[in-house]
Amino acid sequence: MKISDIRVRLLSKDDNKMKATASFTIENCFVIHEIRIIEGSKGMFIAMPSRKIANGDYKDICHPIDTVTRNSIEAQILEAYDKAVAVAQTEE
């Protein structure tokens, strides 16, 4: 699987744990929107798009099937996030 495009939208700089949202395109033919980039107690991570179900829990709408794919997607999105933050800092 080749990720052909990643777009990051930085959020405001308040103390919110959610730092950005992202979209990524797989092989120029399938896009996934609304991946959340979150700062947790153990570092940055991504959360896949989800919806609230009847019992109040959240269930992912789409997600990688295996750990290797998840780690690859997460690494690429977090790298794109770091680049977006660097660009935003140079523009200040």
Q: What is the pLDDT of residues 23-80, one digit of tens each?
A: 999 999 999 999 999 999 999 999 999 999 999 999 999 999 999 999 999 999 999 9
Question: Would you say 19 and 11 are in contact if contact means Cβ atoms under 8 Å apart?
Answer: yes
Q: Which domains does the chain have, with CATH numbers?
A: 3-91 (3.30.1120.40)
Contacts with 49 (C-beta within 8 Å, 6 or more apart), sequence order: 32, 33, 34, 35, 60, 61, 62
Side chain identity at residue 18, one-letter code: M
Distances (CA, A) of 59 to 10, 12, 76: 24, 26, 23
pTM exceeds 0.75: yes
Question: Would you say 47 and 26 are in contact if contact means Cβ atoms under 8 Å apart?
Answer: no
